[in-house]
A = this chain, B = another copy of it.
Amino acid sequence: MNQGLGRASIRLKEPVYILNSASIVGTKEGQGPLGLLFDKVGEDDMFGCATWEEAESSLQKEAVGMALEKAGLVPENISFIFAGDLLGQSIATSFGISSYEIPLLGVYGACSTCGEALTLGVMSIAGGFADRAACVTSSHFASAEKEFRFPLEYGNQRPLSASWTVTGSAAFLLGNETAAGAAKIRDNGGPRAKITGMTVGKIVDYGLKDSMNMGACMAPAAASTLERHFIDFNSQPDDYDRIITGDLGKVGQTALVDLLKERGYDISSLHMDCGIEIYDAESQDTHAGGSGCGCSAVTLSAYILKQLEEKNWKKVLFLPTGALLSKTSFNEGKSVPGIAHCLILEAV
């Protein structure tokens, strides 16, 4: 294969640029430590809609619309949109982005969906099939609780290992601009970063069954993908300024660090988790941390890309993590398998 390393990893010959991006979040996220960095914070979590699901759809629509506007692009400039969410049959996507009329390739990777969408978006551009692609993912606390656990009205208690689904969506516009073209777009505020490689994850199932402790369920998948990445790219943890997982939370973080230590990699001083960053666990009562397709997406757009733009970091690994359960599989006593996809993001 031309651009591949191992079978799961791809080192790009030419980088693909994140031309621009945008994020929108709910009230709780707006009150969190990253609150001032998001492009838009809703006044309430219905976002003017009649149902939680419609509210989530409106988040995707807003995120894509803001990203296009920031980049000075229109929907007709985008060849493909890679989009997904956590709801059954991805209805937040279907009813969120249809008005843009962009050819759609729907993706599902639970909370790893942002990583999967970016990976496929990069392939569409680096493979020569598109000049520009969009990637968008979302989650909403209320629609996710209804989809996976208990309706909010039930008032169930949450164990300390539970995570809090982020209400938010972020959209990313990818392009194949040459260095000169990229510099020009930078004058308009972008490109924000470049993607130079990817490692696609496989399903990892340690047999854990606790849907209130998804960090522990996903940590083995994150460890598997990271180990694969280090081997395939012949790299070490300290080749990166940060190693950033999606939504392992505090319980999952401990598990990941331990699992990688067993395999000879110490990431303890480099690891960051979007789910831990997005809330103040103490004052916001969010327990293990944030989760959801929107968690890693809005943190990437608002915080991680900003650090790369400001050259505080030069090169990071971005690794959204997903728990592959449904209400049905949980009720039928199945385990919660995990998956994680990894991208190398570098400052332009």
Contact = CB atoms under 8 A, between A and B. Distances in A.
Contacts of A127: 3, 123-124, 126-129
Given A80-B200, A202-B102, A205-B98, A4 B91 contact: no
Given A98-B337, A200-B104, A329 B126 contact: no
Interface string A72-108: 0000101110001011111100110110011111111
B103 A89 contact: no
A95 B325 CA distance: 9
A339 interface: yes
A114 interface: no
Nearest to A89: B326
A202 B84 CA distance: 14
A336 B58 CA distance: 17
A318 B286 CA distance: 48
A34 interface: no
Contacts of A116: 105-106
A107 B106 contact: yes
A2 interface: yes
A1 B125 CA distance: 8
B326 A104 contact: no
B328 A129 contact: no
Contacts of A149: none
Contacts of A203: 94, 97-98, 101, 104
Interface in A1-41: 1-4, 7-8, 10
A147 interface: yes
Interface string A164-207: 00000000000000000000000000000000000011110100
Contact of A120 (B2, B105, B326): B105
A339 B339 CA distance: 27
Given A89-B88, A328-B53, A329-B95, A10 B104 contact: no
A158 interface: no
Given A203-B94, A332-B51, A89 B1 contact: no
A108 B91 contact: no
B7 A78 contact: yes
Residue in A97, A104, A110, A119 with the greatest tally of chain B CB atoms within 10 Å = A104
26 contacts: A1-B130, A1-B131, A7-B103, A8-B79, A8-B80, A10-B129, A51-B332, A84-B108, A89-B324, A89-B329, A91-B325, A91-B328, A94-B203, A94-B329, A94-B337, A104-B109, A104-B339, A105-B107, A105-B200, A106-B339, A107-B107, A123-B123, A124-B127, A126-B127, A127-B127, A127-B128
Closest 9 CB pairs of A and B: A127-B127, A88-B88, A2-B128, A89-B326, A98-B203, A103-B200, A94-B324, A7-B79, A8-B103
Given A7-B76, A98-B203, 12 more contacts: A7-B103, A10-B129, A53-B329, A89-B108, A91-B334, A94-B329, A101-B202, A101-B203, A105-B107, A105-B116, A106-B109, A107-B108
